[in-house]
Every structure is written in C-alpha cells, then in structure tokens.
Structure 1
Amino acid sequence: MFARSSVQRQARRPWLALLAVLLIALLCAAPAFAQAAAPVAPPVAAPAAPNVGDGLDRALNELGGGEQPLALSLQVLILMALLTVLPSLLLMMTSFTRIIIVLSILRQALGLQQTPPNQVLVGLSFFLTLFVMAPTISTLNAQAVAPYSASQIGATEAIERGGNVMHGFMIKQTRKTDIAMFSKIANTGPYANANDVPFSVLLPSFVTSELKTAFQIGFLIFLPFIVIDLVVASVLMALGMMMLSPTIISLPFKLLLFVLVDGWALTMGSLASSFAS
C-alpha cells in the first residue's frame, strides 16, 4: 500500500511542475498584455517654474562672455569666492564697522565684560546697519536688482549700477584727507570730482574714516564713566578702603547713570544720525 502511494506521488510530480511553470509564465506576461492593450497617453510637459538658479546661470554666462556657459567647476569656484567675500563686503562697505566698534567701547566703558554678550551686540549692529542702509538698499534695488530681474539689463551693467550706488554712500562718509593719503600712496589722482575716485582707493579710505569716527564717538562715551571711576577711587582712598576695588563700587553708579539718561536710546540715535548726509 505504501509502495503504491509512493509510485502515485512520483507520477503526479511532473504534472505539478508543469502547472507551476505555466502559472508563473502567465503571471509574468500579464502586465505586458495589459500595457499593450491600454492606450498610452502622450506625456504632458509640466510648465517650467522660475528658478533662482536660472538668473544665477545667466549672470555667470554673461560674465563669462555670453557665448557658452561656464564649466561647472568654474561656476562653483566663483560662487565659493563670492560667499567668502560677502562678509567682508558687509563689514567694510556699510555702516557696520562704526556701529559694532562703538557698542563694544560702550560695553567696556560700563565695566561689563560679557554683558551684553557678543551675539547681542552683533545683532544690534546688524539691524541698526539695515536701518541706516535702508535708503541705499532701496536705491540699489530700484536701479540694479529690479531691472536685472526683469531682464532689462545684463549682469555687467547691474554690477556697475550697484557699484555706483555703494560708491555714493561711501564717498559721503569718507574724509578727503584719507582719500588724499591713499591716492598718494597709489600714485593716482588728483581727481576732478568724487565720482572719479576708484574703489581701490575709496574702500581703504572709507574703512579708515569709519575707524576714526568710531573711536572719536567712543572717547566721548568714555568720559562720563571715567569721571565716576575717579570720584569713587578718590572717596575710597580718603576713607582708607584701599583694599576694596573701585570697580565694584563704581559699576552700580555707572549703570544708574546710563539708565537715567536713557543711554541706549541716545547711543542708537546718535549712531544713526551720524550717517545722515
């Protein structure tokens, strides 16, 4: 009995194997038949969305001559160079330098080492810089950025117009003596008018003038706090408290004086008005 059942199972195995192969073939061929039977709709091209990179590519192509796009490696090199230069442009071509130096001197005059912290001072300087530079930024946008975005002018002309706007702002804040000094060093000039001063002379002259102005404002800020330090030190010496640090005693009086005169408003207002043309 067991022998017969074994023989029957061996006889059924080829049929089962054949059925399995046919089933697998049908399953594999079904998608192909369905795809052949279903009508294929033509692909619809999606409307191209405006991309920021298109304007950047156009600018790089125009700077490269406009005949053919620059190589990808060269584009990456130019972009990395621009990203490296941008912080320097922010520091050296705007009002940021004068503002951050004055606020740092103010903190030192109060006798506070880390209050306000550096992040707060940089943030205040940045937003006050945006406030001071708002008219210049608006003019820059109207004369250079907006026409270039509308494809009315090329990248070279946009850069030239933007440079003229920044040139006008910087020349108003630069002393003539500094321009004369750097033009003498560079063996250029004399210049017929302010517009003839090149950026190679204007930029170091502008930075030098900003540093000088910042230290002049810092000196005026330091004077009342020095008086408080001298008075407190003299009183402590007269009382024989030479072992007590005058800084500990004078700090509350400095803060009280600064709060009573509304020092932050005076400082910010004076810095903003110092750039008025």
Structure 2
Amino acid sequence: MVGVSYHELTAGQKPRHSAGERKQFLVICTIGAAVMFNAFINAGLFEEVVIKDDGIYRGGQYIHKLIEHRDYASTGGFFRNIRSNLKLEGEEDDDKYDEDLYSVYIDMTKPYHDKGRFFTGILIDDSKADMKQRLLEKNANKSEKKLDDETDEQFERVDYEIGDLPSVRSAVASFPWTDGFVSGILNNYKVFPALHKYAKENLPEGSKFVVSTTCSRKKQMCTHYIPMIQQKDFLLGHKDSLEYEGYEEDQTMVDLELLWSDLKRIFTFKWINY
C-alpha cells in the first residue's frame, strides 16, 4: 500500500474561506459592533443616574394587567400592546398615550433582580374614562388564536383590572429611553440597581421598595419614581414578595431563555430596530 501524505491529499483544494470572505466577515462584525455600541450610548450607557428627592407621584385610577415571571426588560413590549389596545380605528399617531402608560415593579428585592411581578397599564383621571372603557372592552374580546410572540401571548391571556394608586412624595430619576431591548437591559442593570441603592439608604427600615416607571418616545426619556410613603398601596391588594408563592421561581439571576433570545437578535441584526 502506497502512503499518501496530507499535502498530496489537499493539493489543489481551495481554502475553506478565501481572504476576501474573511475580510468581508470582519467588516460585517466591525460594523455590527459599532452599531451595537452606538445603540448602548444612545440608551444611556455613559449617563449618570441622578435621583432627586423632590418628586410627586401623580396617582390616579390605574387600569392595568398583572404580569408574572417576566423579565422587566419586556416592559416596552407590553407598552406597545396597550397602545395598540387604545388606538382608535384609523388613528395613526399613538404618541399621545405615552404620558398615561405606567408600570409598577413590586418584587425588586435585590439590586440586580431583573425578573418578577409587575403591573402595566394606564394611570388616568375621570377626564379619560373613554380610555378606561376601551381597555376593559378588550377583556370580553380576546383573540383565541395562539400568537407567535411570547410577550403578546401572555398579554392576551391576562385581563385588565381596575385599581387606585396614591399621589405620594417620591424620589424621581429620569434616564434616556430608546423604546427597545437595549434600554431594557440598561434599566435592569444600571438604573434599577441605582434606585435600589438609593431606597436602601433613604427609606425607613422595613419599608417596601417599589418602582413605577413611565416612558416617552417623543422625549426619549423614562421617568422612574420611588414612592417614599404608602408603598404597600402599590401592591393593589396582592401579596408582598416573600409571601407570593411564585417568588422563588423568579430568583434565577440570569434568564437563560431571554439571554439566548437577545443573543440571536444581536447576531442576526434583528436588534437594529430596537
């Protein structure tokens, strides 16, 4: 048997990737990294979280849904669902609804706790009763069709409820917002930890830490409130975190499913619109 060397076997074969292909791949990766970095800058990567102690939470009637076992970064998606529910037939611009959209996070027991229960809905007074009616009508007109998007699917399953949130003295912080998952990540790992630190240093011992957030696409800004009194009223009759039976389930510090979803967005460039 005549031996054949590796060089003889591979003679005449083309490299797996040509120099041109490798260069093209490098250019694409460089552009992707630059765009990604720019997205984080626009979302406030280098901005300081400035918290002031002179805020007033406006309070009002809160038409909301209770969201469980979801990453707080999904808030923007739920806001989009609510705007869709509020839009009138033929209405194109839904920016006007942003000023009434609020989420209330009630399970932030740790600085980097990015998953748990929160409410999302509209905070209004009697002058906007028509908006309340539009949302409540959705309870009786749910789609039975299974939706592809997990956020839309969970949103559709839950009914709108009515509650009242108090107008109270609050600490307040404003931070950039780009209405996408990059802003959601920075909220989870930069803004909320700063708010948690402030609350730990300034709330009386034993007080409940609650954050309520409203975001404006036109201003590209979120405003975050920490109620300094009457925090238990923001539970809207639900159990506190440690009494909630699903609390332990939400203690995983890294949501692997969400992380994988975000990585796929990054490397398939689907995140550019976010």
Question: Larger radius of gyration, structure 1 or 2?
Answer: 1
Q: Which has the higher strand share?
A: 2
Alignment TM-score, normalising by the size of structure 1: 0.22
Bigger relative CO (Cα 8 Å, ≥ 6 apart): 2
Alignment TM-score, normalising by the size of structure 2: 0.22
Q: Which has the higher helix share?
A: 1
